[in-house]
A and B are shown apart, each in its own frame.
Chain A
Amino acid sequence: MALIFDHILPAPLADSAVDGSFWRSRSEVAAGRHLAIIAASGRGKSTLVNIAYGIRHDYSGAYHIDGKKADTLSLEDWSLLRQNTMSCVFQDLKLFPQLSARQNLLLKCQLNEGIKLSEAEAMAERLGMNAYLDKPCGQLSMGQQQRIAVVRALCQPFRYLFLDEPTSHLDRDNTKKVMELVMEQAEQQKAAVIITGLDQDYHLPESFEQLTI
């Protein structure tokens, strides 16, 4: 059970990807592996997350999820994977601005009977967000929205957790809290974590391997 990136090369990077980098090699991400992809803008960090989460399909090479080739999966297969196997904090967060923070969390909790809204609210409280849960997300600051997006990503069972610059709008203190919560949940679920960022200022545990792309 692993994610296998076999000589994946996204169409926009076809000319710029260097031989021997992540893009032109075979990488396997098994449960429990922690990867940090730190690179400058335009190197394909978000592209990698988007390919891994099934948002982008414009690549050559083969991407396997638990033995299944990603490009053979149906829409329903992807939905099931996103309910039980993989979760993501998107760079653009993808919250519903017209819904309150609590409703945004509820939307995710409703997909899995095992996850209660109260657990999500407890996680939000740990990130200092309980006072803002009834506010429409559109009225929250980017940092507050980012924390809600992180909590939402943790409100489900997962074996692969993707975080695309999850703390880009947070101060050091909140970044630390977010990473502690993320790692706690990931360890509980024995999940692989792939995190992207511009620098290494993530308070990353030593278990993280740094990956160059």
Chain B
Amino acid sequence: MSAGAALLNRLINSSGSRKQLWLALGGAFAGLFLMGACSQAYITFNRILSKQKDLLGADFLVVNKKVSLLNTISGSAGRFSNEDIKALSLLQGVSNVGAFRSSDFKVRAHFQAGLGTDIPGLTTDLFFESVPDGFLELDDVHWEWQPGDAELPLIIPSDYLKMYNFGFARGQGLPIVPESVLKSIRFDVLISGNGKSGYYKAYIAGFTERVPSVLVPDAFLEWANKEYGSGSNPRPDRLIIAAKDPASPAISRFFSEHTYEIAGGDKLKTSRINTLLLMVLSVVLTLGFLVVVLSLLGLIQFSQILAFRAARDIRVLFLLGYPPGMISAPIALAFGRMLAGVAVVSFLASGMAHYFMYRFLKEKGFQASAWPSWESLLLMFLVAAILYGYTLVSLRRSVRSICRE
């Protein structure tokens, strides 16, 4: 180490300023750890939750009118009028209202035994419904149909599969079927009505937990109702609503007053809890960021006090011919080493916190990686680098200002 570096290192290690340095470094550790651990938890929970994501987005609701003896007698049988739809559209927080289209023809599905699975041959009557495509989150699903297409994609409630697997299959001694296998099966669908009939090869394109219906592309149902339907255009009995906050008190009150029912309401609550969890993590992450900012202020102040205390020596070194950059370099290096140490300890601590979270989640039956995510490490590295960068800039400014005096 050069004599100049040794001199400056001696100054940085002066006992008077150590307390503040340790305080600032402690703050940097706390902030980095909080950010690392929270970003890690955020990413982990987000991954777990996205695996449970429904094809119907969290911001959508499916509602129907409660079927009561009164509206059964009156004949309206729970259908929505144009006024009902208009009132819903005007509700605060509601951005779009779409109507379910129902099939106006007979549908019969036939599963052929075999087909590479142990599913027995099965014939059943079905019904179809559709919603405008914009209401579905169909990133990974082929959901297009045009007249002439022989294949028909379907979205069915995941409860149907559960009913088969854990009810019917168990009771009949049949094997259970995973989603992936069911998606690979093509089965026949016979549509008839209006004196016509047609065969389609249907397949299950996806599952939903929020819509208790068999969905087909809206384009298909629009075409098929004209082709095979009676020509009547009944009012919808279910609506799909896009809302910024589906569980807002205003919407809940409106539904309660009009005796509307929300399909999959319990799932909506789960979705709200998930959103709240991610929100809490975001708040703690922000808190970590604030602690980092505070520690940054501490470090900047420390570097300024350090430069102020060493002002006479810095000035003399400059007058001897030391450039400002060379004067601040040993202090910058010492800061760099200290912050790198703090960053490594924070990395390790947040890694350990993640491991404990992983074990906890595993015990609860959730799948998560035991290793910290690279995004989280990158975030910590970037924050530590920014912390160092700002401290360095402040230190250099102080040194240059002293040299200029």
Interface, chain A (partner B; CB < 8 A): 53, 55, 75-76, 78-83, 88, 90, 94, 96, 98-99, 103, 106-108, 110-111, 152, 156
Contacts and interface: CB of A to CB of B under 8 A. Distances in A.
Given A75-B400, A75-B404, A76-B324, A107 B3 contact: yes
A76 B313 contact: no
B175 interface: no
B320 A111 contact: yes
Nearest to B324: A75
A75 B321 contact: no
Contacts of B320: 82, 94, 107-108, 111, 152
B307 interface: no
Nearest to B11: A98
Would you call the interface of chain B mostly helix, strand, loop, or mixed? Answer: helix
Contacts of A108: 320-321
Interface in B321-359: 321-326
B292 to A, nearest CB: 32
B73 interface: no
Nearest to A155: B320
B3 A75 contact: no
How many of chain B's residues touch chain A, expressed as a range?
20 to 34
B7 A79 contact: no
A-B interface, 9 closest residue pairs, ranked by CB to CB distance from nearest: A82-B321, A79-B323, A83-B321, A106-B3, A94-B316, A107-B3, A111-B321, A103-B3, A76-B323
Given A75-B323, A96-B7, A110 B2 contact: yes
A59 to B, nearest CB: 16
Contacts of A53: 319
A78 B317 CA distance: 12
A93 to B, nearest CB: 10
A24 to B, nearest CB: 28
A85 to B, nearest CB: 10
A68 B240 CA distance: 79
B82 to A, nearest CB: 77
A110 B324 CA distance: 15
